[in-house]
Structure 1
Amino acid sequence: MKSELAEVANDMVDTNKKYLIWNNKGGVGKTFLTYNLAVEYAIAHSDEDVVVIDACPQSNVSEIILGGNGVGEENLNNLRDRNTTIAGYIKERFSNSPLARLGNESSYFVKAHSVNPKMPNNLYLLPGDVDLDICSRLIAHIGSSPVKEAWKKSRSLLIDLIASFEADKTISERPKTFFIDCNLSFASYTELGVVASNRVIIPCTADAASIRGIKNLVKLIYGVSIDSTEQDEMFLDFNKEAKQSKIEFPKLHLFVQNRSRTNESDAAKAFKSHAEEIKRITSELLKTHPHLFTDESIDDRVKHVKDGNTLAAIINHEGCPLSNLQHKSYTIYGMATQANKAQIDALEADVNGVVSCI
């Protein structure tokens, strides 16, 4: 009986939403979108705990949350020195307990407000780490063990962290919502995010490379070819392993078209055609593979968020919520940078439009 109870405690809470924010393409604004959605969601839902998981070696979302340029980097380095990062946990597991939890998983999460008072009081962070690239080899090594279910356990490291955080009553017993910021590559640490999530938000831009990234994502995770082309076996490795391990795949929730603005007429035409192609892909997937999507009633699965432009630079530097920006001049590296009210209002309206669907 005791072992059965322990097994139940090891499971994640199904009712808690866990968003993977990923596209198999760089430069689509994944990190800035993750930051804005998580922080504004936390502000709007003070009765929940909101957790950002930085599963990207660049650790940009961690630096913003921890204080912005300079300060955020220093605070992140202090956490790295103490191994209080996602990579620190993976390395500790590899060295001491590859196939079972350490027992201190929830200690790897940082309350953002305690480091950066500009952050909402209900926001937590599992910090990123440049050593995640090294961890790819460690995860693969754990997964290659002859022990039963070694692959599944190696890809469940993030589940172990999340489930322990959810179960820690010293933190809170409130609902929790997670946002996982991923690197563009489908590395093994990205697989951790896929396995731990139950919903996917796909950031994209209106260009051909971003469309290829969407198609790759659908193929890599679900084993579905949007173009009905012959499947490359290498693309299906993760999907096959996950199915054999009886892992439940996350559901597609939203496509968020970032940087939705252009001025030149030729560029505008290309932009429009690519934007229409993204909408077509989404509609086609909904028609042919409805089981891949969340079952919530959403009028339009493709949302638009304007380019942050100057505001992104200010937020990166200040480490503050978008909704706290003011119509004034900010100093960035000794240079005056103006935050325009019209820009703030427009970006905030777009972000809140996405937050309302989360």
Structure 2
Amino acid sequence: MKVLGFWNNKGGTGKTSLAFQGICAFATQNADKRILVLDVCPQANLSELLLGGQENSGGLNLLTLHGEAGRRSIGGYFQSRLPKPFDTTGLAPNGFISVPHSYNPAVPPNLRLLAGDPLLELQANAVSTLANTQIPGTDSWAKVVSWLRDFLAACDEHYDYCFIDTNPSFSMYTQIALAACERLVLPVTADDSSRRGIQNAMSLIYGLKLPSEVYAQHNFHSRMLAAGIPLPKVHIVAKNRLTQYINTAKSYTAVLSGIAHDLDAMVKDNPEYFTFDSVASGIEEIKDFQTAGVVAFARGTPFVSMQSGSLSVAGQRVKVDKPQLDQNRDIVHALAARFW
């Protein structure tokens, strides 16, 4: 199974919307492949989208999964691991996986979902405590950070691809998600905080430019290497919502150039952390989805199955223009074609 994650330590980059559209486009392009989606976020926005969005009972459908026996979600899986955190015997992933298409016919039928869950926030302290428990002869952190790797190993024969949506944080459950990824998509927007977000990502995952050697001893990078777990590689930097910025102020163009400049230095100094050898080949430019994106988010309808025309959103009729929708389809299909 090939595993790609969406992550940025900074929120507000459009990560979940991009993941929703990109994953659905990829599933449509690869209709004969079996695709698993892991929503490792307590906000569970991607799950709500896949399950129907605001207009089509996505939130209610998610609550239904949370209410099922064993809790059919990431929270349910983590709950099953807490009593025996270092034991992988008897794992049964299928009991936690749902079929989004059965709730939301707008999404491709070859998708399966481990739904997000607000229970993650309640579990976070317990998971962190377990990861830092001192047990002679046992690398507790490595055992806990491998929880999703264990999950994927247990159902590997059933899926061809896996996509992981993460929380904009670096909590223990986010580290568990990143440890399971082979490749990463890092969405950025044209602002200085996104530029800092890329720099922070490199520090958090790869231990680059840390302020002190003290941090180097116990950071994610060092622990992953010590445990022999391969680090994920940056695969795509998605410059997201470009028309929202570039057409309004030249300063935003300068920020995007700065991001490219920073990345260029990182790729040259540490090529082992990237799947590409030049910034130009690693960047995907994403125009703002505009009205069609708002409608898609509200209705849980990806561009690959959305129809143009007048659609209902929050009791109002909203017009989706065909040229805009076609352009958005082309954008997400181009992005999805680069995933693998």
- Assess same fold via TM > 0.5: yes
Aligned-partner Cα distance in 2 for 1:121–1:264: 37
2:262 maps to 1:278: no
CA-based RMSD? 2.0
Aligned-partner Cα distance in 2 for 1:68–1:296: 38
Find the residue that maps to 1:324 and give its secondary structure: coil
Greater shift, 287-296 or 274-283, is seen at: 287-296
Aligned-partner Cα distance in 2 for 1:264–1:286: 25
Find the partner of 1:257 among 214, 239, 260.
239
Aligned-partner Cα distance in 2 for 1:356–1:44: 8
Aligned-partner Cα distance in 2 for 1:292–1:211: 18
1:41 Cα offset (Å):
0.2
Find the residue that maps to 1:110 and give its secondary structure: coil
- Structure 1 residues 28-177: aligned runs within 5 Å: 28-69=13-54, 71-82=57-68, 83-95=71-83, 97-101=84-88, 102-147=90-135, 148-167=138-157, 172=158, 176-177=160-161
Q: Which runs of 5+ in 1 are unaligned?
A: 1-15
Distance change >3 Å, CA 245–CA 259, structure 1 → 2: same
State the Cα deviation string for residues 303-341 of structure 1 (Å, max 9, x = none). Answer: 111112222221122222212222201111111111111
Q: Runs of 4 or more off by more than 4 Å in structure 1?
A: 295-299
Greater shift, 310-319 or 52-61, is seen at: 310-319
1:232 Cα offset (Å):
6.9
Aligned-partner Cα distance in 1 for 2:264–2:128: 36
Aligned-partner Cα distance in 1 for 2:16–2:160: 20
Q: Which runs of 5+ in 2 are unaligned?
A: none
State the Cα deviation string for residues 52-88 of structure 1 (Å, max 9, x = none). Answer: 1111111010001011115110110011112111011
Distance change >3 Å, CA 263–CA 250, structure 1 → 2: closer
Query: Could you state the TM-score of these two structures normalised by the residue count of structure 1?
Result: 0.87
Greater shift, 35-44 or 102-111, is seen at: 102-111
Q: Is the 8 A contact 1:311 1:344 kept in 2?
A: yes
In the alignment, which residue of structure 1 is the partner of 2:229? 247
Which amino acid is 2:111 matched to?
L
Q: Identity of paired residues, percent?
A: 30
Find the residue that maps to 1:323 and give its secondary structure: coil
Q: Is the 8 A contact 1:139 1:155 kept in 2?
A: no
Greater shift, 313-322 or 69-78, is seen at: 313-322
Distance change >3 Å, CA 112–CA 357, structure 1 → 2: same
Greater shift, 242-251 or 188-197, is seen at: 242-251
1:263 Cα offset (Å):
6.6
In the alignment, which residue of structure 1 is the partner of 2:179? 195
Find the residue that maps to 2:82 and give its secondary structure: helix
Find the residue that maps to 2:231 and give its secondary structure: coil
1:296 Cα offset (Å):
8.4
Q: Is the 8 A contact 2:166 2:177 kept in 1?
A: yes
State the Cα deviation string for residues 197-233 of structure 1 (Å, max 9, x = none). Answer: 00011000011001111110111001112xxx74474
Find the residue that maps to 2:301 and give its secondary structure: coil
Q: Is the 8 A contact 1:32 1:61 kept in 2?
A: yes
Q: Is the 8 A contact 1:24 1:184 kept in 2?
A: yes
Find the residue that maps to 2:169 and give its secondary structure: coil
Aligned-partner Cα distance in 2 for 1:88–1:60: 17
